[in-house]
Chain A
Amino acid sequence: MASVLDIQNLQVSYWSREIRSRPVLSGVSFDLMSGEILGVLGESGSGKSTLAASVLRLLPPNGEISGGAVLFEGNNLLQADYQELRQIRGGRISLIFQEPSLALHPTIRVGEQVRQVLAAHQSSAKKELAERTREIFNRLFPEDADRIARSYPHQLSGGQRQRALIAQAIACNPAIVIADEPTAALDPVTQAEILAVFRSLREVLGLSMIFITHNPALLSGFADRILILYAGQVVEWGPANSVLQSPRHPYTRALFESLPPAPADSGKNRKQMLLVIPGSSSPTSLPRKGCSFEPRCPLKMDVCREFEPPLVKLGETHILSCFRYQ
């Protein structure tokens, strides 16, 4: 299997008047295999949304990519010129933003918004574009496709808006779809529906996906590999089953143990305390040197305070960054 996206040592920082340059991603490296669903797990401040935006260079004006490479189809996207980049955005790599209610234009019908994406990348005739738009809507909205296409975003429910965003993302049959917390604003029933949509798209279209979330449970039975991001660094990365069932990194383990038990299991161990990770990962409380997780780590050692942990390989495919596993 070939690797379809290769991120090497990506470094991104944000600039603000008070703090000057603040690193948000410090040397993130991983690759995405063709047809793979990679789950990127991270909480607020981990840099996950910045990672998504950086691939297509959609950072806000005060964001700066200070190092690294993003290799796609033989090019380094970080050095591509505007025309190349524009063709890739939405055409070969699509990004689904958070907050479907904000990511859709408020006064354009959703059908037209999808058609615009098609028109930006294909120079087909009007009739063909309309035909393709209808095809996409029929796939994502098995009932009511026409009515939804004619609707405005504010007339749709949260789940329908999310599907409209997905429609925009797959319109041009891209190679990679990056979804940033696509289910965060939805209730569990709709959440499950949207996950099913993504699964079926992977099967039918052969998409490769990067699925970003803060909820590990969503990735179970869905992602092929999982990457854990903490404070702008990759702390663990490996096959999904391996990471979910036997997490190694202290942060990953603590994170999984802080989840409430599944409702079906709630009868046992009633009111057993959830593991609480003390402190927070806000930028101001990150240590200046050594391992970023060290202040909150239950397994910390002296060396963790002084030096950054190396990347350790466990077996062929599981990588983590921790002194405990050297």
Chain B
Amino acid sequence: MMRYLFRRLSHASLLVFGVSLLAFLFTTLAPGDYFDEMRLNPQIAPEALVALRAQYQLDRPLPLRYFSWLNSVLHGQMGFSFSYNSPVAPLLLVRAKNTLLLTITATLLAWVIALPLGIWSAERLGRFPDRLISVSTAVLLVIPDLVLALGLLVLAVRTGWFPTGGMASVDFASISPVHKIRDLAFHMTLPVAALVLSALPLLVRHVRAAVAEVLHAPFLLAAEGHGIPRGTLLLRYVLPAAANPLLSLFGFSIGALLSGSLLIEVVMSWPGLGPFLLEAILARDIYIVIGGVLFSTIFLAAGNFLADILLYWIDPRIRTENASR
């Protein structure tokens, strides 16, 4: 088991490392840098710009800069932000917490809805309820996330039921803890709703397919033939057998929701990584951008690693397959 986990962990680490390298390469090779804006300002002398660039090591060769950045990561700083004049890590962490709050809530909620819906659909395969769900998910799939988010905002504006942006009301600091939670929940509703709606079609369809395949398996018919009650059949026979594809999908859904959240955050003014990264990209604050990409990758790899562990625990065939390697 240890060997399996170790192998999985080393894959994940290699992935993160590789992505960091590529991210670094792409952002630094893109034309322009943070100080380009200043060139337009006649009050700043060109020598000053050269000095600034040297100060921030922007004139050093690429490999040196990369190793210097790696060093900074190992020290917990992840590079330096030009705009904020501070190490990148603490800036990212604050925003990352907000993004994680959205993403994790949306992931859990999406699965809580998709599982029963997919199972229900699979049990009635081909009949009216299943077709209805298929059509609805197809429609949702086609609508771009942006349109979904804007649509929800319009709803908020028209009805006034939900705040139209931000994470906290103006008087947040002064209200009681219970009200604080309620306030947060209200602010989260729209972004989470947008994320869940964008992820649902994929999840529902895959759950439906995985469960439908198990429902027609001989061992299920055999269990039914032994008089096993329906509830037990579903929980102890169907779901564990469908776990394999579904757990892999779980790992993937975390990544998908994370990247979707960046866009939604920008639209709904949620103070997470999304708006922060956008701003940094526009300003060429490259270390923030690279840091953001790195963070997303780590989160995605962690999600997949979790799925791997769960799968190893649930499916004994993977254990013996690994034993024979």
Contacts and interface: CB of A to CB of B under 8 A. Distances in A.
Nearest to B317: A154
A120 B317 contact: no
A116 B221 CA distance: 14
Interface in B275-325: 314-317, 320
Interface in B155-191: none
Contacts of B228: 90, 116-117, 120
A104 B219 CA distance: 5
A97 B221 contact: yes
Most buried by B among A56, A116, A117: A116
A102 B314 contact: no
A141 interface: no
A97 B241 contact: no
Given A86-B229, A89-B224, A99-B218, A108 B315 contact: no
Contacts of A86: 227, 229
Interface string A99-113: 100111111100000
B225 A89 contact: yes
Contact of A152 (B229, B314, B316): B316
Interface in A47-97: 56, 58, 86-91, 94-95, 97
B226 interface: yes
B148 to A, nearest CB: 36
Interface stretch (B7-15, B196-204, B232-240): B232-240
Contact of B240 (A56, A88, A107): A107
B73 interface: no
Contacts of A165: 222
Contacts of A58: 221, 224-225
A121 interface: yes
Contact of B320 (A105, A119, A154): A154
B314 A107 contact: yes
A117 B225 CA distance: 10
A119 B243 CA distance: 24
A107 B241 contact: yes
B113 interface: no
B21 interface: no
A197 to B, nearest CB: 18
Nearest to A119: B232
Contact-residue bracket for chain B? 20 to 34
A285 interface: no
Interface residues of A, number: 29
Most buried by A among B224, B226, B232: B226
B217 interface: yes
A90 B317 contact: no
A121 B227 contact: yes
Interface in B209-265: 217-219, 221-229, 232, 236-237, 240-241, 243
Contacts of B314: 107
A90 B320 contact: no
A168 interface: yes
A108 B240 contact: yes
A155 interface: yes
Nearest to B229: A120
Most buried by A among B221, B227, B228, B317: B227
A108 B224 CA distance: 15
A117 B237 contact: no
Contacts of A108: 236-237, 240
A103 B227 contact: no
A152 B320 CA distance: 10
A107 B315 contact: yes
A264 to B, nearest CB: 38
Contacts of B222: 95, 97, 103-104, 165
Nearest to B216: A60
B53 to A, nearest CB: 59
The 10 A-B residue pairs with the shortest CB-CB distance in the complex, in nearest-first order? A90-B226, A90-B227, A89-B227, A102-B218, A103-B222, A117-B226, A152-B316, A95-B225, A105-B219, A86-B227
Interface of B: 217-219, 221-229, 232, 236-237, 240-241, 243, 314-317, 320
7 contacts: A58-B224, A97-B218, A105-B219, A106-B219, A119-B232, A165-B222, A168-B226
Given A99-B218, A105-B240, A106-B317, 15 more contacts: A56-B225, A89-B225, A90-B226, A94-B225, A94-B226, A97-B221, A97-B222, A102-B217, A103-B218, A105-B223, A105-B237, A107-B315, A116-B228, A116-B236, A154-B316
